[in-house]
Amino acid sequence: MLGTRLDTARIRAARRVIDPIFLDTPLYRCEALEPGLGCAVSIKLETANPVRSFKARGTEVVASLLADNASRAVVCASAGNLGQALAWSGRGRELDVTVVASRFATRAKLDRIRALGAGLELVDGDHEMARERAAAIARHDGIRLVEDSLDIETCEGAATIGLELMDTAPSFDTVLIALGGGALATGVGHVVKALAPEVEVICVQPLGAPALTHSFRRRRVVTTDSTNTIADGVAGRRPIPAVLDDLLLVADDAVLVQEASIIAGMRMLLDHAGLVVEPSAALGIAAILEDRDRFAGRHVVTIVCGSNVDVDAYHRWVGAAPLTRP
């Protein structure tokens, strides 16, 4: 009904092929966060699983289809979380998985990809260069290329989070979603708008990686030459046109947040929710911190989407002296 590439019936069917270990993740009101944020806050926790992010919901759908193919080889580009997820899903189905990543990606993510048995190729550049290299490998070897957010399976797998929100959440009026390539935002946004169109869907991106937010605001693809953010999981420069088309149909707004607010959000999630999260997972809290008046009196759901973080970097960010309130 929304006119997106996604299909609600396929999203419901995706639940049947996703390992239950990634489904029905915790969703709870976190009252300890609320005095500092000025609104009711519920957390959808996507980190309590073997790959510590939501990405395996999509790779489970991809891998279930590839398991029936004659060719069982697959390649993807990843900042780290998709690669781990595809490695995990592929290992369980005896797929030959190759992940291409920047050699500057978070070391803990790269180490985990190797540990899960995937081949790992590193490029001397950013994630966009990794995307180009992965596409070249797929063409040369004639194997499946998984393109996060472009491949509908990655979006519809992520969209199962939206089904769970609709099935189990108490009344809420806003959902805050980290915006990177767009799979999470378009997936969850599709379900929310299909089943509860009155709920406001707000996407959040770092000021240092604004390409898809700028694209959303201008209603055309806007690219950037570089990124500058600690939120490596959402640091893309070249939005995918089809993803932007979907985002324009399901999102009410897209906002940009400062690095200081992301760090403050990470610290709040540690201090008040006992959660160690990667920067991308704190974007929703950062958005509330930067605009308390907008969210005052609302019940907000934020998706804590990943916890794969370099320990030393985390201590540098969160262990510093408290930041002043934005």
271, burial (CB in 10 Å: exposed 0-12, middle 13-18, buried 19+): middle
The mean per-residue pLDDT over the stretch 111-131 comes to: 96
**Collapsed DSSP state (helix, strand, coil) of residue 46:** coil
What's the pLDDT at 292? Answer: 98
What's the pLDDT at 123? Answer: 97
What's the pLDDT at 4? Answer: 97
What's the pLDDT at 136? Answer: 98
Closest CA to 62 of 31, 95, 36, 40: 95
Instruction: Decide which of 307 and 322 is more confident.
Output: 307
Based on the domain organization, do 194 and 300 belong to the same domain?
A: yes
* DSSP per position, 288-308: HHHTHHHHTT-EEEEEE-B--
Check which CATH number belongs to the domain holding 242 and give it.
3.40.50.1100
Based on the domain organization, do 46 and 60 belong to the same domain?
A: no
Based on the domain organization, do 211 and 88 belong to the same domain?
A: no
| Summary mean pLDDT of the chain | 95
pLDDT tens for 125-175 read 999 999 999 999 999 999 999 999 999 999 999 999 999 999 986 689 999
177: part of which helix (H) or strand (E)?
strand 174-178
Report yes or no on 127 lying in a domain.
yes
Report yes or no on 65 lying in a domain.
yes
Q: Going by DSSP bridges, is the β-strand pair 73-77/96-102 parallel, antiparallel, or unpaired?
A: parallel
Domain termination residue (choose one: 124, 145, 166): 145
Based on the domain organization, do 40 and 93 belong to the same domain?
A: no
Domain termination residue (choose one: 92, 126, 145): 145
Based on the domain organization, do 105 and 23 belong to the same domain?
A: no
Residue count (the chain): 326
Domain termination residue (choose one: 101, 127, 145): 145
